Structures are given as structure tokens and as C-alpha cells.
Structure 1
């Protein structure tokens, strides 16, 4: 009886210790990398986008010769993983940027966002999603260097980007580019207020 009781106590202690050492995570299992073909609706508009900051390897959302158009839904409701279309706060950086920009929501109002070695953390929890690490053409550091892209001067150190914790104000969102090397993020211009967001991406317009 005593041996069984002692064994149970040890199991409880080990379980508690293991739980304390496990890293806490936030998972986005709903947002998918694939871009859907969608039809225009009454509450949508179409854009031709001329920048490659959202490119994950297939010129995503970049209108090539006007052949690829993106459907934006007019809305003020956003969740983590959404790609939003917003007025770019160009006065806060030193080089020319477009009037409107695409970015992916990683942080929501009231949350605290931090980058550690190129990984996004939300309220001290690691974000698990295909867009949660610093990437180039959709590849994280290990995948990128496994490809042995000889013409690139990117180093492993370039992937290990840090950012001190940023508290997101009410009615604002923290956004990043899918290709961190080709775009800017809220690290550069701050959280984006909902008033500056015109809507969110639904997908590519379906052609007939």
C-alpha cells in the first residue's frame, strides 16, 4: 500500500515538473498557406498589387502583367492569420513605400508581441503557424540553407531577428510580411490601427 502511494506521489511530482518545463504555445491550425480562388461579392473590391513582400515562393499576391488580381473584403473584423490591406504609415520610415500595403495579422489588440531568434511569441507563448518564423520565399532558416542558394548573401544570423516586447493598443493589430526579407512589418511602423485597414484578403479573383 505504501509503495503504491509513494509511486503515485512520484508520478504526480514528475507530471508537475514536466508541465512546468513545457513551452507554452499558441497554434493557428485554421489559416492555410494556399490562396483560394474566389468570386467577387457585393462587399468586395479588387486590387492589383505591385509588391512582393507576401511572396512565399510563387509570387503570391504580386500582380504579374495584371493577370493576378486579389479580392479584398470590406470588413473591420480580423483574426490572427488574416492578410489585411491597409494604408501604409509611410511617414515613420525613411524610404519610399506604397500608399497601401498587405500584411499578415500575428498580434491582436491587447496582446504583447516579441521576436526571439526570428520566432514570433505572443504573450510569452510561441506562435505555431506557417507564418510565425522569419522566412525567405516561404522557407525558414533550415529549409533555406538546405536548398543551398549559392547566389544569396543571406546568412543564418539574418534569420535570427529579435524584437523587444511590443504591447498592442486597443483597436490595433501587429502585422508582418510573409517574406520578412522583402517587406516591412509593425516592427518598423508600429501596430496598425483598425481605422487604417480597408479590409482583408479573400483570395485571387476567379476568372472565367
Structure 2
């Protein structure tokens, strides 16, 4: 195991665990199963170290319609299957923000909740990653060979 300090808020769900505390990384060993929802440590397309969440597995079909992730035509019913980092749908988000009297860019947020992606099918060695905060993060396909390990948690 080793520690990694992630200096970007792409995985922030409001508690800042991924940015303010060193992360404990378990290196990937042969035969270890990678599952949907795992937060992984990997090398991105620029060869830099990064973290993200596994959304789709090898051989699966993934698409996004109206800010909702679908895997093999089935709605991904998990907090990370929705556009908002806390798992809120569009109606609940706007209701919460308006009730709290918050000032925000409603038109920009409507676009955010209408994120769409045509369906793609992953190859036998590919995974689809989406950062928890869609607004600050990325969506991408990576090869299994780029995965270094799993984020187990953080240290105090």
C-alpha cells in the first residue's frame, strides 16, 4: 500500500475527503476483481496519476440520457449514476436550491442535468470512468493496463 495526495476536486461529493487527506492506495494485483463503483488510482491519457470511479465494465454498453447513466439499457440507480454529485435528480436539485434561497446559474445547471452521450460498447479490456463531480470532472474510457490500484480510503 502507499499514500497519494490528490490535489483536485473532481471526486468531491461535499465532504472534501478526496482532496484534503492523503489517500490509501492498494496496488492492483493479478486476479483481483474490479467492480462497478470502485474508486481507482490510474494513469490518465497524459500519463499523470489520477483517481476516478468505475461506472461500466468490459463488454458493457453505456449511454447517458438527460443526466442519467444507463448500463446495458438499464438505469444505473446509484448516486454516481446521476449528473449531480450527491445523486440528486434535476427536480430535487432545483427544489433544494430554491428552498435554501441560493443564488446560482439555473440555465447552466439545466444544461448540466441534460448531459447526453450516445451509447458505446466497451472492449474486453476497457472500463468507463466518471468522476463524482461531473461539472469539474471527466468521463472517459481507460484500458485495464492503466489501472494502478484501488482507493481504500484516507488517513487522518
Q: Taking structure 2 as the reference length, what is the TM-score of the superposition?
A: 0.86
Aligned equivalents of 1:130 and 1:164: distance in 2? 21
Superposed CA offset, 1:157-186 (max 9, x none):
321111001111112210001000011111
Given the alignment of the two structures, is residue 129 of structure 1 paired with residue 86 of structure 2, yes or no?
Answer: no
Superposed CA offset, 1:105-162 (max 9, x none):
1100000100011101011111111110111465442333222331445332321111
Counterpart position of 1:55: 12
Which has a greater percent of strand?
A: 2
From the superposition, tell whether residues 129 and 194 of structure 1 become closer, same or farther in structure 2 (CA, over 3 Å): same
Matches within 5 A, 1:5-154: 44-63=1-20, 68-76=21-29, 77-90=33-46, 99-136=48-85, 139-146=88-95, 147-148=97-98, 149-152=102-105, 154=108
The total of aligned residue pairs comes to: 148
Deviation at 1:59, TM superposition (A): 1.7
RMSD: 1.8
Instruction: Classify the secondary structure of the residue corresponding to 2:13.
Output: coil
Counterpart position of 2:125: 171
Aligned partner of 1:180 among 123, 128, 134: 134
Superposed CA offset, 1:27-72 (max 9, x none):
xxxxxxxxxxxxxxxxx11100100000111223012xxxx11111
- Listed as ranges, the gaps of 5+ residues in structure 2 are none
Q: Taking structure 1 as the reference length, what is the TM-score of the superposition?
A: 0.66
Structure whose CA Rg is larger: 1
Aligned equivalents of 1:70 and 1:48: distance in 2? 6
Contact 1:57 1:138 (8 Å CA) reproduced: no
- Listed as ranges, the gaps of 5+ residues in structure 1 are 1-43, 91-97
Aligned equivalents of 1:71 and 1:86: distance in 2? 13
Which of structure 1's runs of 4+ aligned residues deviate more than 6 A? Answer: none
Aligned equivalents of 2:45 and 2:94: distance in 1? 34
